[in-house]
Chains A and B, each alone.
Chain A
Amino acid sequence: MARNVTTRRVVISTGAAWFFGFLIFLPILWMFLTSFKSELDAFSMPPKFLFFHWTTENYVTVQSRSDYVHHALNSIMIAGGSTLIAMLIAVPAAWSMAFSPTKRTKDVLLWMLSTKMMPPVGVLVPIYLIYRDFGMLDTRAGLILILCLGNLPIVIWMLFTYFKEIPKDILEAARMDGATIGRELVYVLTPMAIPGLASTLLLNFILAWNEAFWTLNLSTLDAAPLTVFIASYSSPEGLFWAKLSAASTLAIAPIIILGWFSQRQLVRGLTFGAVK
């Protein structure tokens, strides 16, 4: 029996959805508002919501004190580079596990996931020492490598579940239709896998963009991405809430815009397999 959808129920559930949506969005909104406050207003008690003296001076200060473009370029290169390399490794890996699994495939997948169960700080010292000895501290290549390795398990898992969903019959049908492996890839597999590849690419890019632990610990200035740019406003001269917010707003703006335009792919990517 279909559930009775009354107006009241619609109003309540819509209201609840908006409420929780707003709750999740609140910190970002607060950060955005704070970035336009003076430092004094920023930590006044009780907090001021909308009625304060609006100013853009924080953005000016942030711009003059540090080089946003330099950090943003680093972020783009590190997130982009690590995503690209991770995809190059993950696509064939997930592919072979999805289409010609062995009895150890499950173990391999679990082992890969298990590397994400350890807190990164557990390997910070050895990684730091290795990076120091190989001269990779504060280099883009170093950060690309560590972020790529860090995200690889997730990327492989996502792609694996995607490829798993492609029915084997269709590939066999292509084979019966006379397609060679190369043509099977070009005409059948790739077009079917593109949504999965796109959402994995996006999610991985966002994860790499937001990654703070390794970027903060392994870079200082030359290779420092936007995470370091934000963190530089929380120390060492004390806490500057308004400037910190301005820096954060600048740092997350590109990724929010990217996320906004690709939200359909993202939702599909995150719920793939669970919802049909």
Chain B
Amino acid sequence: MGQITLQGVRKSFGPVDIIKGADLDIEDGSFVVFVGPSGCGKTTLLRLIAGLEDVTGGEILIDGQNVVDVPPAKRGLSMVFQSYALYPHMSVRGNIAFGLKMAGLPRAEIDRKVDAAAATLNLTSYLDRKPRELSGGQRQRVAIGRAIVREPKAFLFDEPLSNLDAALRVQMRLEVTKLQKQLGTTAVYVTHDQVEAMTMADKIVVLNAGRVEQYGSPLELYERPANIFVAGFIGSPKMNFISGEAAGEQGAATLGVRPEHLRIGKEGDGWPGTVSVAEHLGSDTFLYVDAAKLGMLTARYIGELDLKAGDRVWLSPDPARLHRFDKDGLTIGR
């Protein structure tokens, strides 16, 4: 079991409030991603769950038991660090076995479990090496091995893929997701990469300045962002925001439309503008359009579109996909 519940969790460092009251319900077996810009408190929130930081206020329940006074070692969670944090003086085997050794398991059982974990992660032939003899991806696997071997209530991941190169990151992303599904263990994953968040998560927690902005499934966040921050943070390229007259006509302070929901026409319908940059990726075409009073708008076209800088275009938003925000940035119900 691994159900984690946060109730009014607060954390301050001196006079600075890092987490300003977080309420979350993380279901057993789900994959929850904390995402947000740097300094939003996502890592702090993870460390609070781990017990590496003490809460200033509120409760953290693991399977219904309040653990705020329980040391990290006794919470039954395991963590994968951004820096991997392998023990440099121990072999891969020693690293993976360390937690089991601390738990006082018999030697034979430790060996059996370590071998099983190593087999799952393709580490069997590296068991006798030291961490410094491994590549980044292999070190990452060892860190994951160390986490899974203890069969914890939940895995905590602190930006585990950010030190890997792009190709490896995509591969490890798949592997981590697959492994989590296979084990069925609750996972809490911190990242600043919204693509990682969208692809891995069952549910995403968007954090900003110490507050939970929205908690929901990836598509909920994409389709029904609660406010302007979530709307801008989820989705790539970023949602276009339009204020002023065009927004007023729709009864909103700000209007949001995603680049993929702008229809691009070569003549007379919608908002006129001039292409300032056109990016041709083959699969997609991205246009950065100077739309006079509306400002710069980004438009995405699936496939190739024969337009270049300086061309006149007309952009018309899909009315069903328009997002309207009030003056406080909150979504106005449709």
Q: Which residues of A contact B (CB under 8 A)?
A: 167, 169-170, 172-180, 183, 187-188, 191-192
Contacts and interface: CB of A to CB of B under 8 A. Distances in A.
Given A179-B102, A183-B102, A173 B87 contact: yes
7 contacts: A167-B85, A169-B82, A172-B81, A173-B81, A173-B87, A178-B103, A188-B87
B77 interface: yes
B198 interface: no
Enumerate the 9 nearest inter-chain pairs by beta-carbon distance, A residue then B residue, closest first: A169-B85, A177-B99, A173-B85, A178-B102, A178-B73, A191-B89, A176-B79, A169-B81, A170-B85
Given A177-B102, A177-B150, A191-B89, A172 B52 contact: yes
A172 B83 CA distance: 12
B85 A172 contact: yes
Interface range for B? 20 to 34
B50 interface: yes
A192 B88 CA distance: 8
A180 B81 CA distance: 19
Contacts of A192: 87-89
B89 A177 contact: no
**Chain A contact surface mostly:** helix
A224 B150 CA distance: 59
B149 to A, nearest CB: 10
B146 interface: yes
Contact of B98 (A167, A172, A180, A187): A187
Nearest to B147: A176
A167 B85 CA distance: 8
B102 A170 contact: no
B72 interface: yes
Interface in B59-109: 71-74, 77-79, 81-83, 85-89, 98-99, 102-103
Given A169-B83, A183-B102, A176 B88 contact: no
A177 B78 contact: yes
A176 B89 contact: no
A210 to B, nearest CB: 33
Nearest to B149: A177
Given A169-B83, A187-B98, A175 B88 contact: no
Given A170-B87, A176-B50, A191-B89, 17 more contacts: A167-B85, A169-B83, A172-B72, A172-B85, A173-B81, A173-B146, A175-B71, A175-B72, A176-B99, A178-B73, A178-B103, A179-B102, A180-B73, A187-B98, A188-B87, A192-B87, A192-B88
A169 B50 CA distance: 13
Contact of A176 (B78, B82, B83): B78
Contacts of A191: 89
B98 A177 contact: yes
Nearest to A172: B52
A68 to B, nearest CB: 42
A188 B87 CA distance: 7
A176 B73 contact: yes
